[in-house]
Amino acid sequence: METLMLSASDPKTAATAANLIMNGQLVAIPTETVYGLGANGLDEAAVAKIFEAKGRPQDNPLILHICGAEQIELFCHHIPQKAYDLAEKFWPGPLTMVLPARDCVPKRTTGGLATVAVRCPDNAVTREIIRLSGVPVAAPSANISGKPSTTTAEHVRHDHDGKIAAIVDGGSCRVGVESTIVDLTEERPRLLRPGGITPEQLLEVLGDLVVDKAVTAQIDKDAVVKAPGMKYRHYAPSEPVVIVSGSRETAAAYIRAHFEPGDRVLCFEEELPLYEGCNPLSYGREADVNTLSAGLFAALRELDDPAIHQVYARCPVGGGVAYAVQNRLKKAAAFHIVDAEEEV
């Protein structure tokens, strides 16, 4: 099929995209986090197309994208007050909540779980598409399963040209890493995936937060986990990635000592001069972590090249949005980290 490219600034785009979704087609939609591969979340056949296009494991549930907090009760039940408190504070925005699912949500969408993830994205054209389609839009990140997420329309075209009905081009995604996911189905709120809404911000509203073990460690593929998506290999370029921690100078000394032709260095803009001759690629400024989250996936895509042997990566430290960047980079590196300070 021919994949239509629709501009977010064209006033006809929302109606065209909404019509395709109502007709059971796949449409890639821009959000503030990453591009999503959208379909009618209540239509089993349409949702099946998402899994097929992505090559996604069937047990990995999808997020329903909705217009606002008033729609939560259409798809969820036993909604605690804190869900509304979070929505009030952070929606539209990069926060997804997991709640008990109503029967109207197909098992294909929830990956067979009794819960469903909901989020209201901070993107005007995408919210208009959802509103006009009259259904919740199920949308995983629009990458092929296992590959770095898509933060531009061009990334989506690279992965899905000819396989989906349309791509809505809304430019580069502002946040650049996927939404924060918090599970509100247990007594204590649980962080399943860090993102643009930080643990510190969640704590301010919730007063309590458990960090799921899948956030900080590699999970066995046969394990029973809260967030099924967390156990699969993620965001990974084709070659091995190793994170090198430690001070700027010590890390550079370690990497330069181990660097071989065909390797690449993924570093902060401030570090580029330290890696002359080592083919460095910057993904943003260490001094502004938002540039790192916005640039990470595009950089990982650029490094997805079979000609590369090994990638040495520098990772920001600390909490806030850096916590989400650490999580994605560690997953890309399959939690392979070398502390340069201990190696000298």
What is the binding site for ligand TXA (CB under 6 A)? Answer: 31, 33-34, 36, 60-63, 96, 98, 110, 113, 115-117, 119, 121, 139-141, 178-179, 181, 192, 226-230
Instruction: Report in angstroms how near the CB of residue 217 gets to ligand TXA at its nearest.
Output: 15
Query: Residue 55 region, left (φ>0) first, then alpha (ψ -120 to 50), else beta?
Result: left
Instruction: Report in angstroms how near the CB of residue 238 gets to ligand TXA at its nearest.
Output: 20
Which partner, Mg ion, ligand TXA, none, binds residue 64 by CB below 5 to 8 Å per kind? Answer: none
| b/e map 46-58, b = 16+ CB within 10 Å | bbebbbebbebee
Cβ nearer to Mg ion, comparing 31 with 141: 141
Q: Which residues between 270 and 299 bind Mg ion (CB under 5 A)?
A: none
Which partner, ligand TXA, Mg ion, none, binds residue 180 by CB below 5 to 8 Å per kind? Answer: none
Which partner, Mg ion, ligand TXA, none, binds residue 36 by CB below 5 to 8 Å per kind? Answer: ligand TXA
Which partner, ligand TXA, Mg ion, none, binds residue 53 by CB below 5 to 8 Å per kind? Answer: none
CA atoms within 13 A on the CB side of 88: 7
Q: Which residue stretch of 14-22, 53-61, 140-148, 266-274 sits at the interface with Mg ion (rule: CB under 5 A)?
A: 140-148
Cβ nearer to ligand TXA, comparing 136 with 229: 229
Q: Which residue stretch of 3-11, 137-145, 192-200, 242-250 sits at the interface with Mg ion (rule: CB under 5 A)?
A: 137-145
Instruction: Report in angstroms how near the CB of residue 167 gets to Mg ion at its nearest.
Output: 17
Which partner, Mg ion, ligand TXA, none, binds residue 293 by CB below 5 to 8 Å per kind? Answer: none
Cβ nearer to ligand TXA, comparing 141 with 152: 141
Q: Which residue stretch of 9-17, 136-144, 248-256, 311-319 sits at the interface with Mg ion (rule: CB under 5 A)?
A: 136-144
Instruction: Report in angstroms how near the CB of residue 143 gets to Mg ion at its nearest.
Output: 6
Which partner, Mg ion, ligand TXA, none, binds residue 110 by CB below 5 to 8 Å per kind? Answer: ligand TXA
Let me know: does 91 contact 179? Beta carbons within 8 Å. Answer: no
The answer to whether residue 141 forms part of the interface with Mg ion (CB under 5 A) is yes
- Residue 15's H or E segment, with its range, is helix 13-22
Which positions lie near Mg ion, rule CB under 5 A? Answer: 141
